[in-house]
Amino acid sequence: MHEAFRAPEPETRALRRLQSAMSDAEAALGRRMRMHPTDLAAMGYLSLSDEPVGPGELAHRLALSPAAATELVDRLTSAGHVERRRDLADRRRIRLEPSDEAVSTVRGQLDSLLSALDAAVQESDEEERAVIRAFLERATAAYEWWADPAKD
């Protein structure tokens, strides 16, 4: 065994198991919605973005060529999952938004999972919930730091 190897903390291992289970759940959502993983990733990014997203930003986020991103957006638009809208601040710019129908469908698919997660959280008192939130925020920051493209 390599000397530099150290066993991760039990919480880190639990987080990795959670990450694996989340990947499995995302794959299940894609199967249930009959969506390719790239399409599902695009929908997830569009749904969670705080800022308007255009085709160029989506291509960059998903590491797609502009042509592949155009094909992806065309496919999602044709399926009724995404709507192209003019950006109100810059009328030359197109922004992409999940359709109301797509959002409703995803919420319907995820309702039982979200209910189960809420039930798991509700088993904890407020003090435990604060600790859980703080840990998840720190873990999220660690993942974002590690995944920063500037590190490539």
**pLDDT digits 0-9 by tens, 100-115:** 999 999 999 999 999 9
Percent of the chain at pLDDT > 70 equals: 98
Residue 116 has pLDDT above 60, yes or no: yes
Identify the bridge partners of residue 96 per DSSP, sorted by sequence position. Answer: 53, 84
Q: Which CATH architecture has domain 31-98?
A: Orthogonal Bundle (1.10)
CB 46 within 8 A of CB 89: no
pLDDT at 50: 86
Residue 124 main-chain phi, psi, to 5 deg: -100, 150
CA distance 69 to 41: 12
CA distance 89 to 86: 9
CB 95 within 8 A of CB 54: yes
pLDDT band at 3 (very low <50, low <70, confident <90, very high): low
Residue 148 burial (CB count, 10 A): 9
Task: Map residue 14 onto helix, strand or coil.
Answer: helix
Residues of the chain with CATH 1.10.10.10: 31-98
CA distance 146 to 152: 10
